[in-house]
Amino acid sequence: MEKIAGLYSYWVVVVLMMAGLYIMIARYNLVKKIIGLGLFQTSIFYLYITMGKVSGGTAPILVHGDVQPVFSNPVPHVLILTAIVVGVATSAVALALIVRIYEEFGSIEADEIAIIEAQEPEA
Amino acid sequence: MNPLWTLVPPLAVIPFILFFGEKRKNLREASIIVAGLALLLINNLIYNDLVAGGTPQSGEFAIMANYSLKLSAEPMGVIFGLLASFLWVVTTVYSIGYMRGHHEINQTRFYTCFALALAAVMGAAYADNLLTLFVAYEVITISTFPLVTHAGGEAARKAGKVYIGILMSTSIAFLLPAIIWTTVVSGSMDFVPGGVLTGAGLSNGSLAFLLALFVFGIAKSGLMPFHRWLPAAMVAPTPVSALLHAVAVVKTGVFSLLKIVTYTFGIDLVTISGAAYFLLPVAGFTIIAASIVAFTKDNLKARLAYSTIGQLAYIVLAALLATVMSVSGGVLHIVMHAFGKITLFFCAGAILVALHKSEISKLNGIGRRMPITMGCFFIGAVSIIGLPPAGGAWSKLLIAGGSLETGTIVWAMILMFSTLLNIAYLLPIPLRAFLKPDPDLKPGERATMQEAPFACLWAIMLTTITCLVLFLYPAPLTDLIGMIQWR
Amino acid sequence: MYEQLPALMILVPFTAAPVCVVFRHALASWVIALAASLFSLFAAWQVLEHVRTVGIIRYKVGGWAAPSGIEYYIDTLNASVLLLVSGISCIVLVYAYRSVIKQVPLAKHYLFYTAWLMCMSGLLGIVITGDAFNVFVFLEVSSLATYMLISMGSDRRALTASFRYLIMGSVGASFILIGIGFLYAATGTLNMIDISERIPNSESQRAVLVAFSFICIGVMIKAAIFPLHAWLANAYTYAPVAVTAFLAGTATKVSLYVLLRFFFSIFGYEYSFGQLLLNGVLLPAAVAGFILMSLVAVYQTDLRRMLAYSSVAQLGYIVAGISLASQAGLTAGIVHILNHALVKSALFMAVGCIIYQVGHAHRPSFDDLFKRMPFTCIAFIIAGLGLIGVPLTVGFISKFALIEASMDRGWWLIAALILVSSLMAVVYIGRVVEVMLFRQSRTSTPEVSGMSEAPLSMLAPMYLLIVIGLYFGINGDATLSLAGEAAEQLLGGF
């Protein structure tokens, strides 16, 4: 019970990650794939934040006095700030690509596009 | 004399060939002859050095840390180098007549690739280690490819595919791993008297497998089942067939094999380990099968090609028997067969140029129109068969003697049986030419002389005379062979 | 300034990229991109010299010391990969100018060169950094730029190819991110050297194991190691051909570098191959890759697709060399990273020349190619011989080293399979050469077929690569000793 309840945060990560992966694999709609990718990446952010958390910890700010408060590890937070930016950029590029795909193929369904592509001459 | 010099004339002449080009044919061809004579002179100087007791060798050029390209002269290489350079001159003279008489296209490209191939042959002849040999071997394959496909068109495409396919595949699939394996177990790639593999700790089975890799990897020796490239290569112009596919390329194959048996394995190791035991029947089979196939070929060049396959298998057999006598015979046979076969190819080309005939069945009675050519053909055929008074007799005798030395009579019997087959498929050609009536002539009409251009004829007569001289005076060759360090 | 070269090598192209956007001019962007690439090449050259003569460089970015700051760690291996990436970038950029004019609308050229610079600086960054998280950041920088570059292909299928790569690539990068996270959890540091020191003593070996697995899969996706190569074929086929020539020589090679760095330097040779038997994963993948992908390449009619599959196969050789995990095997793998980059980029450039003049790369539709484009065909043949591994080409050096290494280790079957795969290379290159040389024009207007070669600005860089290839084929010792040094450092850990 301790394993499940005590580490519930990690379970959330696992569920989110699998849900994201599932969406990416199972959905033909390109936008939904990107939603899946976003979910997947978010779960990783969550993983990092969870790792950095120290129970009872606060923000890592120096205070006057001899006793410093317990604080959470700031490094994962900083890393994830970078990763979020990367994730946003990836989504932006992906959505731009989807727009272009829609202009060219008239569809954003992977299976329909595959049929159109199969009919085109080689190269 | 540094053997590196042998690469200079054939490479240095290429800019001249390209510069003179089609417009100044005479200068172009003169430059090749000058290069050929220079090459012959250089080879001769190396020969003198060697006979005087020197060891002519080049510096090392490392292409990988422990493996370098290096040339050095030893008796076999000198013989091969002299042979190839002498015949290059002769073939060039012949080509002048042939290519002009036949109005071939792209002659500049032809002579360029020819010179490149010759340079590579020199590299193979004087290779001091397996790597150098392999490099030269592959350069020969690639540089002769444009020669084989010279005519263009569908036939050339198919032939080129077979040619490059077999030669390159076997060299990559068998020869390369054999070389690397040798290096891994013996730590050396060098050709050393007595071989490097003795004491390398290979079991007899591994030795046999390694030898098989070498024998089949060197598909240029035309051993069945990797012989198909040689008949395919016959679509090339006759001078190519004559020099490259009767002498330079195929002899590079068997020469490499002789060298590997002598200097990588060591003849004692081959004999003691019985490594060649399973390969001898392959050579024996090739000898007989090629002779039988030659029978069925009506195209003269195709018949000569299969004859070459059979004759090359003699040398393979000689190498695999691995006695001093048989290997000596193999080396000698490189020379003897070269002169005999090049004569035959020259004659085939002369007939093609003069009478535009390439099928044996159409040669009836041409002996009266081309008496010199067909006379020379007869002598060349006698040399190939191995009868006195032509040089082929000596080498065949030595190989047969070598096979008796090993105590098994079967290989000698195969040689003798093959001699009978040779007689049966070669001699009818001059007989037909001289004795059968000419179908193109009306009864009572006398044949007029219709010989090939003088340049061709001159070359044919020179090689024919050499065939005879080599019977009467083989001493320089046998002396040189006597200098080979077997152990 | 001189000591700052490691940082400038990345910063100059990185800041040059937005400058291109400011100019919004095709030629100006090209000049900027080329100048920045040349600078990186110069810097990489200097760095390699320094590493080989003086020793390993540990550069503190911004002056912040290692554990909290980012450190650039440069030894022989990544110095040579840096040189490779910037060198290929320079050469292909010269080539790209004319090639891109035909394949990308003029209005997008400045974006093209912007993305190119981002891609290159990203790749350089991955290679140079000594910080695990930094690897991820630069990986994404280069990947995003790569998606952009690929999507600029003239065929609309470039878009879907790019999208597919984006999904696969993001998943791969995310896996690496997860792995790095677990490494951080286990060791409490992101500096590669610190991680490698703390892994053996870490209390949570389970986390290390998880990190190892995630990074392994992530890198295999990015490096297109069979069977995770699905994104590569379409991406290489439909991208502008200059991009393909660039990526074929750099992107997958850089991912392989990451693989080497993580498994040998960070996790350590003992851990990866001794304890976890990584070769049990890599070797079957490598062998299946070079056999199956060579076979697939034989049946391709489009040259770009054929070369793409051949790339996956050649990556298999490299991975096979790596999974030998011996000094000789690693040397062979690393030397093939360099050699294959030279050969494959040259081949794609030759195909690009054909596309430039003929308009397609569909093998059965070629005719009279040799008459029309003799220089391109000769270049293709020489590079093709290099791919096959004919002596005096680079391919021979690496193939020789690889077979020697596997025989040395007693892996006879692997050696035999490598040869089988080489034979398939003979077939697929041979088929193209056959068509080039012998396919006659079927429109039966012989007088039309004059010479129509690609422009000099495309031929010259292509031949430069080929000459470099021949040089390293003849003087194989130059690259082999470099690779040997790198292998020694890798096996020795940090």
Report pLDDT for B193: 86
Put simply, whether B177 touches C (Cβ < 8 Å) is yes
Confidence check: pLDDT of B385 > 70: yes
* Helix, strand, or coil (residue A122): coil
pLDDT digits (tens, 9 = 90+) for C336-360: 999 999 999 999 999 999 999 888 8
Helix (H) or strand (E) holding B112: helix B107-125
Which one-letter amino acid corresponds to residue C375? F
| Contact flag A47-C178 (C-beta cutoff 8 Å) | yes
Percent of chain B scoring above 90 in pLDDT: 7
Mean residue pLDDT of chain A comes to: 88
Stretch B220-230: mean pLDDT = 87
Q: Taking a C-beta distance cutoff of 8 angstroms, is the pair C153, A123 a contact?
A: no
| Contact flag A44-C177 (C-beta cutoff 8 Å) | yes
Instruction: Give me Rg for the CA atoms of chain C.
Output: 22
Report the distance separating Cα B446 and Cα B452, nearest Å.
19
Which chains does A contact via 3+ CB–CB distances below 8 A? C
Residue C1's pLDDT band, with cuts at 50, 70 and 90, is low
Distance between C477 CA and the closest CA of chain B, angstroms: 4
Which residues on C lie below 8 Å from B62 (Cβ)? 477
Put simply, whether B152 touches C (Cβ < 8 Å) is yes
With tokens 């080539």, the residue in question is C95
| Contact flag C177-A122 (C-beta cutoff 8 Å) | no
Which residues on C lie below 8 Å from A41 (Cβ)? 170, 174
Stretch B147-176: mean pLDDT = 86
What pTM was computed for the model?
0.91
Closest CA to C125 of C28, C6, C302: C6
Q: Taking a C-beta distance cutoff of 8 angstroms, is the pair A42, A35 a contact?
A: no
Report the distance separating Cα C263 and Cα C29, nearest Å.
39
Report the distance separating Cα B205 and Cα B210, nearest Å.
9
Distances (CA, A) of B478 to B78, B83, B200: 13, 14, 32
Q: Taking a C-beta distance cutoff of 8 angstroms, is the pair C226, C285 a contact?
A: yes
Task: Let me know if chains A and B touch, i.e. at least 3 Cβ pairs under 8 angstroms.
Answer: no
Which residue of chain A has the CA closest to C156?
Answer: A104
Q: Taking a C-beta distance cutoff of 8 angstroms, is the pair B258, B76 a contact?
A: yes
| Contact flag B64-C473 (C-beta cutoff 8 Å) | no
Report pLDDT for C362: 84
Stretch C122-131: mean pLDDT = 93
Which one-letter amino acid corresponds to residue C446? P
Count how many pairs of residues, chain A against chain C, have C-beta atoms within 8 Å: 81
Q: Taking a C-beta distance cutoff of 8 angstroms, is the pair C247, C143 a contact?
A: no
Confidence check: pLDDT of C442 > 70: no
Residue B184's pLDDT band, with cuts at 50, 70 and 90, is confident
Q: How many CB atoms lie within 10 A of CB C392?
A: 18
Mean residue pLDDT of chain C comes to: 89
SS3 sequence, chain C?
Answer: CCCCHHHHHHHHHHHHHHHHHHHCCHHHHHHHHHHHHHHHHHHHHHHHHHHHHCCCEEEEHHHCCCCCCCEEEECHHHHHHHHHHHHHHHHHHHHHHHHHHHHCCHHHHHHHHHHHHHHHHHHHHHHHECEHHHHHHHHHHHHHHHHHHHHCCCCCHHHHHHHHHHHHHHHHHHHHHHHHHHHHHHHCCCEHHHHHHHHHHCCCHHHHHHHHHHHHHHHHHHCCCCCCCHHHHHHHHHCCHHHHHHHHHHHHHHHHHHHHHHHHHHCCHHHHHHHCCHHHHHHHHHHHHHHHHHHHHHCCCEHHHHHHHHHHHHHHHHHHHHHHCCHHHHHHHHHHHHHHHHHHHHHHHHHHHHHHHHCCCEHHHCCCHHHHCHHHHHHHHHHHHHHHCCCCCHHHHHHHHHHHHHHHCCCHHHHHHHHHHHHHHHHHHHHHHHHHHHCCCCCCCCCCCCCCCCCHHHHHHHHHHHHHHHHHHHCHHHHHHHHHHHHHHHHCCC
Most confident of B344-353, B369-378, C141-150: C141-150
Put simply, whether B200 touches C (Cβ < 8 Å) is no
Rounded to 5 degrees, what are φ and ψ at B62? -80, 120
Cross-chain CB nearest to C360 (options A37, A120, A123):
A123
For residue C212, give every residue at least 6 positions away whose Cβ sits within 8 Å of its Cβ, in sequence order, or none. Answer: C179, C267, C271, C272, C276
Report pLDDT for B270: 84
Handedness of CA C74, C77, C80, C81 (dihedral sign): negative
Report the distance separating Cα B394 and Cα B211, nearest Å.
27
User: For B127-141, B467-481, C380-394, which range has the lowest pLDDT when averaged over its residues?
Assistant: B467-481
Confidence check: pLDDT of C494 > 80: no
Report the distance separating Cα B260 and Cα B268, nearest Å.
13
Closest CA to C251 of C123, C163, C129: C123
Rounded to 5 degrees, what are φ and ψ at B299? -70, 130
Residue C449's pLDDT band, with cuts at 50, 70 and 90, is low
Closest CA to C165 of C139, C144, C135, C141: C144
Put simply, whether C476 touches B (Cβ < 8 Å) is yes
Rounded to 5 degrees, what are φ and ψ at B52? -75, 0
| Contact flag C430-B164 (C-beta cutoff 8 Å) | yes
Which residues on C lie below 8 Å from B157 (Cβ)? 434, 437-438
The per-type count for chain B, helices as H runs and strands as E runs, is 21, 2
Residue C383's pLDDT band, with cuts at 50, 70 and 90, is very high
Residues facing C58 on adjacent strands: C73
Q: Taking a C-beta distance cutoff of 8 angstroms, is the pair B6, B43 a contact?
A: yes
Residues facing C486 on adjacent strands: none
Stretch A31-38: mean pLDDT = 94
Which residue of chain B has the CA closest to C427?
Answer: B165
Report pLDDT for B55: 83
User: For B176-180, C211-215, C366-370, which range has the lowest pLDDT when averaged over its residues?
Assistant: C366-370
As given in the structure block, the two tokens for residue B77 are 């290489």
Whether ipTM exceeds 0.85 = yes
Helix (H) or strand (E) holding B41: helix B25-51
Cross-chain CB nearest to C397 (options B64, B172, B183):
B64
Report the distance separating Cα A110 and Cα B3, nearest Å.
67
Report pLDDT for C437: 82
Put simply, whether B157 touches C (Cβ < 8 Å) is yes
pLDDT digits (tens, 9 = 90+) for C134-148: 999 999 999 999 999
Which residues on B lie below 8 Å from C416 (Cβ)? 177
* Helix, strand, or coil (residue B63): strand
Q: Which of residues 86-105 of C touch B (CB under 8 A)?
A: none
Residue C443's pLDDT band, with cuts at 50, 70 and 90, is low
Count how many pairs of residues, chain B against chain C, have C-beta atoms within 8 Å: 82
Handedness of CA C359, C360, C365, C367 (dihedral sign): positive
Phi-psi domain of C404 (left: phi exceeds 0; alpha: psi -120 through 50; beta: other): alpha
| Contact flag A117-C160 (C-beta cutoff 8 Å) | yes
Residues of A with CB under 8 A from a CB of C: 21, 24, 30, 33, 37, 40-41, 44, 47-48, 51, 75-76, 79, 82-83, 86, 89-90, 93-94, 97-98, 100-101, 104-105, 113, 117, 120, 122-123
Helix (H) or strand (E) holding B476: helix B475-482
Report pLDDT for C95: 93
| Contact flag B65-C477 (C-beta cutoff 8 Å) | yes
Bigger pLDDT: C449 or B51? B51
Which chains does B contact via 3+ CB–CB distances below 8 A? C
Report the distance separating Cα B238 and Cα B91, nearest Å.
10
Q: How many CB atoms lie within 10 A of CB B201?
A: 8
Which residues on B lie below 8 Å from C434 (Cβ)? 157, 160-161
pLDDT digits (tens, 9 = 90+) for C29-85: 999 999 999 999 999 999 999 988 888 888 888 888 777 788 999 988 989 999 999
Distance between A2 CA and the closest CA of chain C, angstroms: 19
Confidence check: pLDDT of C175 > 70: yes
Task: Let me know if chains A and C touch, i.e. at least 3 Cβ pairs under 8 angstroms.
Answer: yes
User: For C129-133, C231-235, C321-325, C438-442, which range has the lowest pLDDT when averaged over its residues?
Assistant: C438-442
Report the distance separating Cα C396 and Cα C385, nearest Å.
9
Report pLDDT for C434: 86
| Contact flag B153-C438 (C-beta cutoff 8 Å) | yes
Report the distance separating Cα C17 and Cα C322, nearest Å.
35
Task: Report strand pairing: C57-60 vs C71-74.
Answer: antiparallel
Residue B353's pLDDT band, with cuts at 50, 70 and 90, is confident
* Helix, strand, or coil (residue B414): helix
Cross-chain CB nearest to A30 (options C157, C163, C362):
C163
Handedness of CA B347, B348, B353, B356 (dihedral sign): positive
Closest CA to C476 of C332, C380, C345: C332
Report the distance separating Cα B217 and Cα B137, nearest Å.
11
| Contact flag C426-B135 (C-beta cutoff 8 Å) | no
pLDDT digits (tens, 9 = 90+) for B236-280: 777 787 777 778 888 899 999 999 988 888 888 888 887 788 888
pLDDT digits (tens, 9 = 90+) for B321-344: 888 888 888 899 999 898 888 888
Put simply, whether C420 touches B (Cβ < 8 Å) is yes
Bigger pLDDT: B94 or B137? B137
Handedness of CA C119, C121, C124, C130 (dihedral sign): negative
Report pLDDT for C476: 85
Distance between C122 CA and the closest CA of chain A, angstroms: 13
| Contact flag A44-C162 (C-beta cutoff 8 Å) | no
| Contact flag B177-C419 (C-beta cutoff 8 Å) | yes
Stretch C365-392: mean pLDDT = 88
pLDDT digits (tens, 9 = 90+) for B193-219: 888 888 777 888 888 888 889 999 998
For residue A88, give every residue at least 6 positions away whose Cβ sits within 8 Å of its Cβ, in sequence order, or none. Answer: none
Residue C118's pLDDT band, with cuts at 50, 70 and 90, is very high
Residue B409's pLDDT band, with cuts at 50, 70 and 90, is confident
Confidence check: pLDDT of C127 > 90: yes
| Contact flag C438-B160 (C-beta cutoff 8 Å) | yes
Mean residue pLDDT of chain B comes to: 85
Report the distance separating Cα C231 and Cα C234, nearest Å.
6
Cross-chain CB nearest to C423 (options B138, B156, B172):
B172
Q: Which of residues 362-381 of B touch C (CB under 8 A)?
A: none
Closest CA to C397 of B218, B144, B134: B134
Bigger pLDDT: B107 or B122? B122
Residue B392's pLDDT band, with cuts at 50, 70 and 90, is confident
Distances (CA, A) of C358 to C102, C374, C429: 12, 13, 19
* Helix, strand, or coil (residue A58): strand
| Contact flag B169-C426 (C-beta cutoff 8 Å) | yes
Instruction: Give me Rg for the CA atoms of chain B.
Output: 21
Q: ∠ CA A51-A56-A61 to the nearest 5 degrees?
A: 85
Mutate to test the interface with A, among C68, C150, C160 (most CBs of A within 10 A): C160
Give the CATH number of domain A2-53+72-119. Answer: 1.10.287.3510
Closest CA to B343 of B419, B429, B447: B429
| Contact flag A101-C163 (C-beta cutoff 8 Å) | yes
The structural domains of chain B, with segments of one domain joined by +, span: 3-482
Which residues on B lie below 8 Å from C481 (Cβ)? 65
